[in-house]
Structure 1
Amino acid sequence: MSTKKSRLLEQSERIHFESTKVALLRKRAETLARCREAQSRTSRQLVFGLDTALELLCIEVPREVEEQLRLRRRAPFPSSASTQCSPSNGWRDEAAEPTPAEDLVILADSRASRRRMRGLRCVQWSHPVETITSCGITCVAPLDTWLMFASYVGLTELVLLGDAMMRRDADMRWLSLDDFDRRMREFERDLEYKGLSAPRGLRNCRRALRLMREGADSPPETQVRLLLESYGLPCPAVNMPVDVTDERGAKQRYYLDLAFPQWRVAVEYDGRHHAEAWENDQRRIKLLGDAQWSLINVTRNDLYEESRREGLVRSVVDRIARRGGKVTPLGMPMSLRQLTDRRRSRARLGDREGQ
């Protein structure tokens, strides 16, 4: 005799809530087991790279990065890549045909060292790389992994991935902006010294550095920030700490996803809390409101629907205006490349004025 289930119970069997940290640890354990199995099939030390390295390092892979990789693996490199991705240029893809997205990625430093093994996808990178070995498995270190991703993804994805390596949470943070800038300078000097051409996408790495910010908690926060900046709004502070006083006179510290402190306007992505946190959320909103902060909540749909993106920008501009500020948004958003060019021009102007 079968027992009928309620609709809520049926939903609970399909939906599993998992914190970002727990998800990263689970994914690392799964990937580590697969890497160990692959390593057991060869006596040569394998070096894992790209998204496999990110999973081994417990670095969140933004959804947009995953989608770009999935698209690239469904099709071979374009014919123009034959010159841009030659071994002398630092990058070459072993796969001549589409490979399964779930294949592990391993690194080779030359044509002779490339490996063909079941379940592995080999890419060639002719430049020296920093590696990390943990639990007997070796992978490319975060900075060089980010550099390699420039051959696979666009400017937006590089910014998202860079921010993911500079999380506010100390448990998830690997790097600082200074670390990225220092590695870029070292890499460019190495190219010049050896007379090598730059790998595909290296210019985007330099552009991405002008847009990346330390201290974000999630890729959607970075996307919201880039959206506001693309419409000409000033760059908001990322996860700015705010101290408020509760009903008993005790100090409470909250972090605002994106804040314009000069006007006490904050923009927060609403996607990280579950129902059990509702009461704490409401108390947080109340205390921040008592401290004269104006909060704007953003949802996933606000990011992926054009009319709602424009509506979000108007809301932020309106809240700023109510606080006595004046920000004039652009009629059409800039591309991220245009935004980096504008930022570089302003930096050069500032240098001239300083002189």
Structure 2
Amino acid sequence: MQRYRRRRGCRTLKAALLAVRAGTDSAPETELRLDLVELGLPEPEVNGIIRATDGRQIAIGDLVFRRYRVLVEYDGEQHRSDARQYHRDVDRLDDVAEEGWRVFRVNKTHRGIRRQRVLERVRAALIARGWTPDEPADRTSGASR
């Protein structure tokens, strides 16, 4: 990067590279993560393993605010059109909710004001579960898997 520092677009590229996270499943999921962070929320863990109290894995969550037990899921078309995926999602998200997690589901219809509303609801849930907006920004709000 150093040798290109004076070239056009270098700052934009550097910012984009810093925003990249390994393991993301889709561009819309990444856009959602970036929207959450832009709102000033702590950065969620990407594809974090969620375990039940007894230690068994019950889910891999798209965007996990582990410390606050808040999960944000981006549902692409396959979550609606694939019957097996849909039924798996129902059971998986019921299990997560049963463990005390607040779950938000977002899909392609959440644009504009609808997107803003869900982001604000996630913010409110984080605050209700102990996050304070003046906490120092963390690269991730959760512990390791």
Q: What range describes the TM-score normalised by the shorter chain of this pair?
A: 0.7 to 0.9
Count of paired positions: 133
Mark the structure with the bigger radius of gyration: 1
State the 4+ residue runs in structure 1 displaced beyond 6 angstroms: none
Report deviation, 1:227.
0.7
Report deviation, 1:260.
1.0
What is the aligned partner in structure 1 of residue 115 from structure 2? 309
Q: Matched residue of 1:301: which SS?
A: coil
- Letter aligned with residue 258 of structure 1: L
Q: Matched residue of 1:262: which SS?
A: helix
1:46-57 equivalent positions in 2, closer than 5 A: none
1:272-287 equivalent positions in 2, closer than 5 A: 272-273=78-79, 274-287=82-95
Task: Say whether the 8 Å CA contact 1:241–1:254 is kept in structure 2.
Answer: yes
Report deviation, 1:253.
4.4
- Letter aligned with residue 319 of structure 1: A
2:43 to 219, 229, 235: 235
Q: Matched residue of 1:276: which SS?
A: helix
1:142-195 deviations in whole A, cap 9, x for unaligned? Answer: xxxxxxxxxxxxxxxxxxxxxxxxxxxxxxxxxxxxxxxxxx35xx2xx59xxx
Correspondence 1:263 to 2:68: yes
What is the aligned partner in structure 1 of residue 124 from structure 2? 318
TM-score w.r.t. the length of structure 1 is: 0.34
- Letter aligned with residue 72 of structure 2: V
Alignment identity in percent? 34
Q: Distance in 2 between matches of 1:252 and 1:232?
A: 30
Task: Say whether the 8 Å CA contact 1:320–1:327 is kept in structure 2.
Answer: no
Which consecutive unaligned segments of at least 5 residues does structure 1 have? 1-183, 329-342, 347-355
Which consecutive unaligned segments of at least 5 residues does structure 2 have? 139-145
Larger relative contact order, structure 1 or 2 (CA cutoff 8 Å, min sep 6): 2
1:320-353 deviations in whole A, cap 9, x for unaligned? Answer: 133233338xxxxxxxxxxxxxx9xx9xxxxxxx
Correspondence 1:296 to 2:101: no
Q: Distance in 2 between matches of 1:205 and 1:263?
A: 32
Cα root mean square deviation, aligned: 2.6
Q: Matched residue of 2:57: which SS?
A: strand
What is the aligned partner in structure 2 of residue 115 from structure 1? none
TM-score w.r.t. the length of structure 2 is: 0.78
What is the aligned partner in structure 2 of residue 338 from structure 1? none
Q: Matched residue of 2:68: which SS?
A: coil
